[in-house]
Amino acid sequence: SYELTQPPSVSVSPGQTARITCSGDALPKRFAYWYQQKPGQAPVLVIYKDSERPSGIPERFSGSSSGTTVTLTISGVQAEDEADYYCQSADSSGTWVFGGGTKLTVL
């Protein structure tokens, strides 16, 4: 199985743009997904298929992909966006993998 690597933490002031990266060798060939998890809650899918938003997810959440790195961008960060964010993918052998998670702090 392969690994997905995320920075442990990202900090941003309200109204600014937060960017969280996720790197993995298989990402050029496999879709990436992003989840938001707040303390004591189950994860919520915020991006699928690298850059698509499920219904109900605010437009300030967007995703992009370039080579072995995918990026979750949160534009106009709000205090309520403070959470842990996880990237996730699946490899060709039929196993799923999560990144280690990034704690987003809104200053």
Partner 1 sequence: EVQLVESGGGLVQPGRSLRLSCAASGFTFDDYAMHWVRQAPGKGLEWVSGISWNSDSIAYADSVKGRFTISRDNAKNSLYLQMNSLRAEDTAFYYCAKVYCSTTSCFDAFDVWGQGTMVTVSS
Q: Which residues bind partner 1 (CB under 8 A)?
A: 1, 30-31, 33, 35, 37, 42-43, 45, 48-49, 52, 54, 84, 86, 88-90, 94-101
Query: Which residue lies nearer to partner 1 by CB, 25 or 76?
Result: 25
Strands 9-12 and 102-106: parallel
Please, what is the minimum distance in Å from the beta carbon of residue 70 to partner 1? 13
Pick the closer one to partner 1 by CB: 18 or 35.
35
Q: How many other β-carbons are positioned within 10 Å of the β-carbon of residue 50?
A: 18
Q: Nearest distance from residue 16's CB to partner 1, in Å?
A: 25
Q: What is the dihedral of CA 10, 82, 36, 70, to 10 degrees?
A: -30
Handedness of CA 60, 80, 77, 101 (dihedral sign): negative
* Nearer residue to partner 1 within complex by CB, 4 or 106: 4
